[in-house]
Amino acid sequence: MLRLWRAYSALASKRRSRLALGELSAEQLKDIGLTEAEARREAAVPFWR
């Protein structure tokens, strides 16, 4: 059961991170070294990958 919870938590964390990328401004993306195109591409990746 714990193993399943850890797997779910990892997938949920990836999903939240990718959704957050889609909400960053161009200036914020520049600060972390990403272009808007890179952020959009990463945000489009399914949560299970």
Model-level pTM? 0.71
SS3 content of the chain, % helix, strand, coil (to 5): 70, 0, 30
Distances (CA, A) of 1 to 4, 6, 7, 8, 32: 5, 9, 10, 11, 36
pLDDT score recorded for residue 46? 83
In the predicted model, residues of the chain with pLDDT beneath 50 are: none
Q: What is the CA radius of gyration of the chain?
A: 13
Residue type, 14: K
Residue type, 32: I
pLDDT score recorded for residue 23? 92
Helix (H, G, I), strand (E, B) or coil at 16: helix
